[in-house]
Amino acid sequence: MSLVSVIITTKNEQDVIEKLICSILKQTYPRNEIILVDNYSTDRTIKIAKKLGIKTYLYGPERSAQRNFGAKKSHGKYLMFLDADMELSPHVIEECVEVVQTGKEYGGIVIPEESIADTFLGQVKAFERSFYNLEADTITEAARFFTREAYLKVGGFDETITGPEDWDFPEAVQKAGFKIGRIKSVICHHERISSVFDLVRKKYYYALKSSRYLKKNKIPVISPKTVYFLRPVFYKNWKKIIFHPLLSLSMICMLTLEQIGGGIGYIRGRTNG
């Protein structure tokens, strides 16, 4: 039975990291190693992980570099890259292994994500993301489980890209000739939005290097990948928007602000090179 290396990137994630680790420890697939790569947290993230017996390393400056570092420290035939605010349903890893072993052509596996939220802002973001899950939206979803062969063939994550790396790496795997599969079990994503300002600031920050991703993958600046309101899933599921007027109106306002923040970040990042 092949070993699966689960690589988690963190920075000040004390509120959620235990839930993720415990969900990995409870997987029905037994051969897993967990590697946590922390970007110099100032909270209890490392302490919690060590208490649970997890291998921990300090490395930065961003997720792409952290993930590549974790991959170098890992031993598994398969690599799974997770964010700290996630929680796996019990059969996720088992299903990923089953699908990827059906043929050598598979290099990655998409795992559907369902958002969980306690606050209204979190519920609005969860409502948005629920559209992407309805039809396995290929524009927004990205693989998180890969064969080491595929990882090595594309040279790991592009460390010059921060933010769109979740899209960039799986796309590189496909361009290298591998297929991307999909399972039914889900990852629960805990939406944690403290304020609209923080959400917009995050979108601005990640957009600073988005021009590199767009240029590398020959994606137009104005496209469904970059502009929320061009994504077909919203129009295909217009009844859902009508039946949830408060969430829909709030979603439109939130996406508009995110679009503005992302646009400013893109322009500034492209201007500064």
Rounded to whole angstroms, the Cα distance separating 83 from 130 reads: 19
What φ, ψ does residue 261 adopt, rounded to 5°?
-60, -45
Continuous segment of H or E residues that includes residue 35: strand 32-38
pLDDT for 273: 65
pLDDT digit string (tens) for 150-169?
Answer: 999 999 999 999 889 999 99
pLDDT for 163: 86
pLDDT for 137: 84
Q: Reading across the β-sheet that carries 113-116, which strands appear in turn?
A: 86-88, 187-190, 113-116
pLDDT for 136: 77
Report how far apart, in Å, the C-alpha atoms of 231 and of each of 14, 129, 138, 235 are: 34, 12, 11, 8
Domains of the chain: 4-194 (3.90.550.10)
- Residues in the chain predicted with pLDDT less than 50, given as ranges, are none
pLDDT digit string (tens) for 77-112?
Answer: 999 999 999 999 999 999 999 999 998 899 999 999
Partners of 114 in the β-ladder: 188
DSSP-based three-state secondary structure for 34: strand
